[in-house]
């Protein structure tokens, strides 16, 4: 079973509906102890980074322990930001810290009419530059979360803060500046946008995570069945 | 690059889309979930459900409609019409709405904007402004356009932003239903005055009107109802047209 963490940051109805439509077996655990028997963890969330202070303590410890034990973790929007060390939005609240880096406020560009918050559909690109994980000349996405997605796919964003493009970034998006849209490091995954609101592209990303959560054997069996 | 959004509005009464719907492929032409699914296939970016009756009795029907639509499409879903209180907003959000649109209630009780922004985040709160030209300004009307609010649209949009609104949905009452094009001057006046996205509404009649409102009107998104319902203009055709004019859209 997948644990969908409800810590009061925004409404989970949309995430629930997407998971249900994809046939996921999930529940919202009422205590951190329940995480020990979950196959995967999803941390959603909308709003101010300060809301993640509800996770500080037992929840943060339990999620950290699950990740160290190999359980796949998927952070969505605020949940992805929480994977990093912290955010300028609420400097006193620590992130989970499984990914190096710090979340900062997007600057926008008033002259170019690039407003903040960054709201709407924007494209995913293979990260470039010294910090990007893709070798120069790499044209396709790497990693498991973006399986079957093409660069240029559009997804729905709504946020004012974002994580930097580091070695863990597998897709980047540009809105006056380039930031990490998708991160992946081992069993840790995150998306800055809302896959549950991003139509087919978003559902494919959730499906990819569900495949990770089910484990390689199940996915291989299904692939055989499809052939 | 952030794309310009195309939003379809469905006016709903007792669980059915009103205004004629002529998609022959649909089994139930007036069914909001069927229509939303069709829009999704065509590439619509967002859907707005507007409860045009907004009576107490229609509340459960509205919740059922929201839930049915949210099960079928995975796109941002806004609900407006008769959202008067925190409870009304909570019912819409619990049924599956991502954003609520406040109109009369926001003017009557501006603190509601802040209350909802704190509870759900600014991204979930749209302030809808119905306005018509008057002299050099734009007069705001409430109660479905029947009552003069004695406010100017630009000034009210600024206040709504400062109180926590995440977007402005600006409808030109002069143009609404005329199919003569969006009011680009009014849209630009508001879009230039605030730092949050502005959705232009009222007057969409042809492809060129969308192009105008994104360029001259500085709109971040454009909303229409009847031209999509009647399938005069398909969403996919509109997006191809806009892309051909170098306006960034999701295809």
The predicted pLDDT at position B189 comes to: 98
Q: How far apart are CA A111 and CA A2, in angstroms?
A: 45
The predicted pLDDT at position A39 comes to: 96
Whether residue B234 lies inside any domain: the answer is: yes
Higher per-residue pLDDT: A61 or B118: A61
pLDDT at position B108 over 80: yes
Confidence bin at A90 (pLDDT 50/70/90): very high
Higher per-residue pLDDT: A112 or A122: A122
The predicted pLDDT at position B20 comes to: 47
Q: Which of A185-189, B168-172, B233-237 comes out lowest in average pLDDT?
A: B233-237
Whether residue B250 lies inside any domain: the answer is: no
pLDDT at position A116 over 60: yes
CB contact at 8 A, A94 and A110: no
* Nearest CB to B74 within list A47, A121, A197: A197
Reply yes or no on whether A77 is catalytic.
yes
CA distance B87 to chain A (A): 14
Structure confidence by residue, pLDDT tens digits, B28-58:
668 999 999 999 999 999 999 999 876 666 7
For residues A119-136, give the mean pLDDT: 76
Range of the domain at A220: 2-226
E strands of chain B, at which residues?
5-13, 16-17, 46-51, 77-80, 99-102, 125-134, 137-142, 147-152, 167-172, 198-201, 221-224
For residues A81-109, give the mean pLDDT: 96
CA distance B230 to chain A (A): 23
How far is C-alpha B167 from the geometric centre of its chain's CA atoms? 10
> A34: buried, middle or exposed (CB in 10 Å: 19+, 13-18, 0-12)?
middle
Decide if A120 and B220 are in contact by the 8 Å CB cutoff: yes
Whether residue B188 lies inside any domain: the answer is: yes
Mean model confidence pLDDT for chain B:
91
Please report which helix (H) or strand (E) contains residue A199, including its range. helix A199-214
Whether residue B168 lies inside any domain: the answer is: yes
Structure confidence by residue, pLDDT tens digits, A205-226:
999 999 999 986 555 566 666 5
Number of domains chain B contains? 1
How far is C-alpha B24 from the geometric centre of its chain's CA atoms? 25
The predicted pLDDT at position B207 comes to: 95
For residues A10-18, give the mean pLDDT: 88
Q: How far apart are CA B178 and CA B201, in angstroms?
A: 12
Higher per-residue pLDDT: A157 or A113: A157
Whether residue B225 lies inside any domain: the answer is: yes
CB contact at 8 A, B7 and B46: yes
Range of the domain at B65: 5-244
The predicted pLDDT at position B145 comes to: 78
Identify the contact set of chain A against chain B, taking CB-CB distances under 8 A.
10-11, 13-14, 17-18, 21, 46-48, 110, 113-123, 154, 156, 158-159, 174-175, 194, 196-199, 202-203
CATH code at position A14: 3.40.50.880
The predicted pLDDT at position A48 comes to: 84
Whether residue B29 lies inside any domain: the answer is: yes
DSSP type of residue A197: G
Reply yes or no on whether A227 is catalytic.
no
Whether residue B249 lies inside any domain: the answer is: no
CATH code at position B19: 3.20.20.70
pLDDT at position A191 over 90: yes
For residues B56-61, give the mean pLDDT: 76
For residues A177-199, give the mean pLDDT: 97
Reply yes or no on whether B130 is catalytic.
yes
Confidence bin at B221 (pLDDT 50/70/90): very high
Residue A182 has, within 13 A of its CA and on its CB side, a CA count of 32
Q: How far apart are CA B224 and CA B209, in angstroms?
A: 11
Q: Which residues contact A15 (CB under 8 A, 6 or more apart)?
A: A4, A42, A44, A76, A196
The predicted pLDDT at position B225 comes to: 86
Decide if B98 and A47 are in contact by the 8 Å CB cutoff: no
- Gap between the terminal Cα atoms of chain B: 13
CB contact at 8 A, B250 and A201: no
Phi, psi for residue B11 in degrees, rounded to 5:
-80, 120
The predicted pLDDT at position A217 comes to: 59
Number of domains chain A contains? 1
DSSP type of residue B3: P
Q: How far apart are CA B195 and CA A115, in angstroms?
A: 6
pLDDT at position B156 over 60: yes
Mean model confidence pLDDT for chain A:
91
R_g over Cα of chain A: 17
For residues B190-219, give the mean pLDDT: 96
Among the options A118, A154, A194, A200, which is catalytic? A194
For residues B199-213, give the mean pLDDT: 96
For residues A38-51, give the mean pLDDT: 91
CB contact at 8 A, A132 and A148: no
The predicted pLDDT at position A75 comes to: 98
CA distance B203 to chain A (A): 23
Structure confidence by residue, pLDDT tens digits, B86-104:
999 999 999 999 999 999 9
The predicted pLDDT at position A133 comes to: 52
Q: How far apart are CA B71 and CA B90, in angstroms?
A: 18
E strands of A23-168, at which residues?
26-27, 40-43, 73-76, 86-87, 102-105, 118-123, 154-159, 161-162
The predicted pLDDT at position B231 comes to: 63
| Whole-structure pTM value | 0.92
Whether residue B202 lies inside any domain: the answer is: yes
Three-state secondary-structure class, residue B104: helix
Q: Which residues contact A159 (CB under 8 A, 6 or more apart)?
A: A77, A78, A106, A117, A118, A192, B123
Q: What percent of chain A has pLDDT over 70?
A: 90
* Nearest CB to B76 within list A113, A122, A156: A156
DSSP type of residue B2: P
Q: How far apart are CA A145 and CA A208, in angstroms?
A: 5
**Helices then strands (H, E): number in chain B?**
10, 11
């Amino acid at each position: 079973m997948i644990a969908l963490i409800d810590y009061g940051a925004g409404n989970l109805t949309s995430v629930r509906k997407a998971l249900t439509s994809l046939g996921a077996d999930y529940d919202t655990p009422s205590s951190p102890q329940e995480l020990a028997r979950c196959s995967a963890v999803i941390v959603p969330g909308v709003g101010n980074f300060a809301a993640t202070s509800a996770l500080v303590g037992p929840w943060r410890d339990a999620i950290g322990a699950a990740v160290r034990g190999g359980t796949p973790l998927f952070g969505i929007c605020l949940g992805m930001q929480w994977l990093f060390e912290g955010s300028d939005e609420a400097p006193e609240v620590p992130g989970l810290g499984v990914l190096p880096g710090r979340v900062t406020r997007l600057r926008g560009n008033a002259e170019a009419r690039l407003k903040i918050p960054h709201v709407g559909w924007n494209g995913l690109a293979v990260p470039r530059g010294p910090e990007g994980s893709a070798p120069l000349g790499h044209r396709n996405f790497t990693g498991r979360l973006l399986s079957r997605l093409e660069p240029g796919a559009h997804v729905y964003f709504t946020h004012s803060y974002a994580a930097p493009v580091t070695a863990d970034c597998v897709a980047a998006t540009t809105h006056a500046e380039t930031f990490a849209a998708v991160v992946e490091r081992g069993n840790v995954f995150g998306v800055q946008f809302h896959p549950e609101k991003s139509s087919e592209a978003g559902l494919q990303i959730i499906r990819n995570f569900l495949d990770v959560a089910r484990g390689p054997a199940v996915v291989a069996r299904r692939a055989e069945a499809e052939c | 690059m952030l794309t310009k959004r195309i939003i379809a509005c469905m006016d709903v009464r007792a669980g059915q889309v009103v205004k004629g719907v002529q998609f022959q492929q649909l089994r139930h032409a007036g069914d909001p979930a069927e229509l939303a699914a069709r829009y999704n296939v065509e590439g619509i970016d967002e859907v707005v459900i507007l409860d045009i009756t907004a009576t107490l009795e229609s509340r459960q029907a509205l919740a059922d409609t929201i839930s049915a639509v949210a099960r079928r499409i995975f796109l941002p879903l806004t609900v407006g019409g008769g959202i008067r209180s925190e409870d009304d907003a909570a019912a819409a959000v619990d049924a599956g709405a991502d954003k609520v649109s406040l109109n009369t209630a926001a003017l009557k009780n501006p603190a509601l904007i802040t209350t909802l922004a704190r509870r759900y985040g600014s991204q979930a709160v749209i302030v809808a402004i119905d306005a018509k030209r008057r002299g050099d300004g734009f007069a705001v009307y409430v109660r479905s356009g029947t009552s003069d609010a004695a406010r100017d649209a630009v000034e009210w949009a600024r206040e709504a932003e400062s109180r926590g609104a995440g977007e402005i949905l600006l409808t030109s009452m002069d143009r609404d239903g005329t199919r003569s094009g969006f009011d680009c001057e009014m849209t630009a006046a508001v879009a230039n005055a605030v730092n949050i996205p502005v959705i232009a509404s009222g007057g969409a009649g042809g492809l060129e009107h969308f192009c105008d409102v994104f360029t001259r009107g500085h709109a971040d998104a454009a909303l229409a109802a009847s031209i999509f319902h009647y399938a005069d203009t398909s969403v996919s055709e509109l997006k191809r047209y806009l892309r051909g004019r170098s306006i960034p859209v999701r295809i």
